[in-house]
């Protein structure tokens, strides 16, 4: 099988569109179509469904996609390993990162790497787990740094806990509730809120907090996936939010935001690394992951 044709097939599936795949690969439309058709002939199976809105893999295409992605990642790792052998402190690492981890843990790790390995290149893709986990599966990133489930939910992925984090009710410094102690849940209900979407883990945990106290969960006026919007809105208003403590670490140090003293609003999540079960990790990626582990252990404790 001609691997170049497989690469072209993978690009077409990744983009779901021939035009974007052509731009990535620097091919003309006839050349790309010819390559896909030749691959289909060699396998004796139709690999792509072509429709008004682009292309998608057939069941045969999905089988090739699953194994082709592994081969593509392994080849990339081989290239990275060769580069690393030529320059032991170099290489290129692609990682995914969640909002909380991008606030403090990853910058600390990147600063340590910049001092020890200036030739190392790191590309960080930012997103929530709904995007991060597929990126790990498909080899778009070497690993992800984000919240991880207590038990593996996907057979293709493995999770490594690093530390346990808590979430807090946060307000601007100077908020009328900021100086009160042992706030009861009922005191929070009349407040204005900006919260994660209803299906997010933090929101589900906060809803359960109110139910445990015999109260209806909040109907937040604003729901968002943006931590930037959440923090900015709370800073500029009397609105409250429920947010991982590490996400407001810098604002608390600067006395811009404060964690309210709320009775029973304790919630924890596990922060960790997510990697593919199958396939190798390049030396550069192992080095970056080891640095993240060391910083997490030194600054944040453990997940135990």
Q: What is the pLDDT of residues 143-155, one digit of tens each?
A: 999 999 877 778 8
Domain assignment of residue 30, yes or no:
yes
pLDDT of residue 237: 96
Domain assignment of residue 18, yes or no:
yes
Please indicate, yes or no, whether residues 141 and 278 belong to a single structural domain of this protein.
yes
Please indicate, yes or no, whether residues 201 and 262 belong to a single structural domain of this protein.
yes
Please indicate, yes or no, whether residues 158 and 31 belong to a single structural domain of this protein.
no
pLDDT of residue 88: 47
Sign of CA dihedral 195, 197, 201, 204: positive
Domain assignment of residue 25, yes or no:
yes
Please indicate, yes or no, whether residues 279 and 226 belong to a single structural domain of this protein.
no
Please indicate, yes or no, whether residues 249 and 294 belong to a single structural domain of this protein.
no
pLDDT of residue 303: 62
pLDDT of residue 240: 96
Please indicate, yes or no, whether residues 198 and 182 belong to a single structural domain of this protein.
yes
Please indicate, yes or no, whether residues 150 and 188 belong to a single structural domain of this protein.
no
Please indicate, yes or no, whether residues 159 and 231 belong to a single structural domain of this protein.
no
Domain holding 18, by residue range, is 3-67
Domain assignment of residue 83, yes or no:
no
Q: What is the pLDDT of residues 279-290, one digit of tens each?
A: 778 888 999 999
Please indicate, yes or no, whether residues 249 and 179 belong to a single structural domain of this protein.
yes
Total domain count for the chain?
3
Please indicate, yes or no, whether residues 278 and 159 belong to a single structural domain of this protein.
yes
Please indicate, yes or no, whether residues 172 and 262 belong to a single structural domain of this protein.
yes
pLDDT of residue 158: 93
Domain assignment of residue 76, yes or no:
no
Please indicate, yes or no, whether residues 155 and 276 belong to a single structural domain of this protein.
yes
* pLDDT less than 50: residues of the chain: 88
Domain assignment of residue 77, yes or no:
no
Q: What is the CATH number of the domain that holds 109?
A: 3.40.190.10
Domain assignment of residue 35, yes or no:
yes
Q: What is the CATH number of the domain that holds 38?
A: 1.10.10.10
Task: Indicate the pTM of the whole model.
Answer: 0.68
Domain assignment of residue 72, yes or no:
no
pLDDT of residue 87: 56
């Amino acid at each position: 099988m001609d691997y170049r044709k497989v690469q072209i097939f993978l690009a077409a599936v990744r983009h779901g569109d021939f035009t974007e795949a052509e731009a990535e690969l620097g091919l003309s439309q006839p050349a790309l179509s010819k390559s896909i058709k030749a691959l289909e002939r060699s396998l004796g199976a139709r690999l792509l469904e072509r429709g008004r809105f682009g292309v998608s893999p057939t069941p045969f295409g999905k089988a090739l996609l699953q194994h082709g992605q592994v081969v593509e990642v392994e080849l990339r790792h081989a290239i990275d390993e060769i580069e690393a052998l030529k320059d032991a402190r170099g290489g290129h690492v692609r990682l995914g990162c969640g909002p909380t981890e991008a606030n403090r843990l990853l910058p600390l790790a990147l600063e340590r790497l910049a001092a020890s390995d200036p030739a190392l290149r790191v590309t960080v893709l930012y997103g929530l787990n709904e995007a991060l986990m597929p990126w790990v599966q498909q080899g778009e990133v070497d690993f992800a740094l984000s919240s991880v489930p207590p038990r593996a939910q996907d057979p293709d992925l493995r999770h490594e806990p690093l530390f346990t984090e808590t979430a807090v009710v946060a307000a601007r410094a100077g908020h009328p509730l900021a100086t009160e102690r042992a706030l009861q849940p009922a005191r929070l209900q009349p407040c204005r809120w900006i919260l994660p979407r209803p299906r997010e883990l933090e929101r589900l945990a906060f809803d359960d907090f109110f139910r445990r106290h015999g109260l209806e969960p909040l109907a937040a006026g604003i729901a968002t996936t943006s931590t930037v919007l959440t923090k900015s809105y709370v800073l500029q208003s009397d609105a409250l939010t429920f947010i991982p403590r590490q996400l407001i670490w810098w604002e608390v140090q600067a006395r811009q935001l404060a964690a309210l003293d709320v009775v029973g609003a304790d919630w924890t999540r596990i922060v960790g690394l997510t990697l593919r079960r199958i396939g190798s990790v390049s030396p550069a990626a192992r080095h970056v992951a080891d640095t993240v582990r060391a910083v997490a252990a030194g600054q944040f404790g453990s997940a135990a």
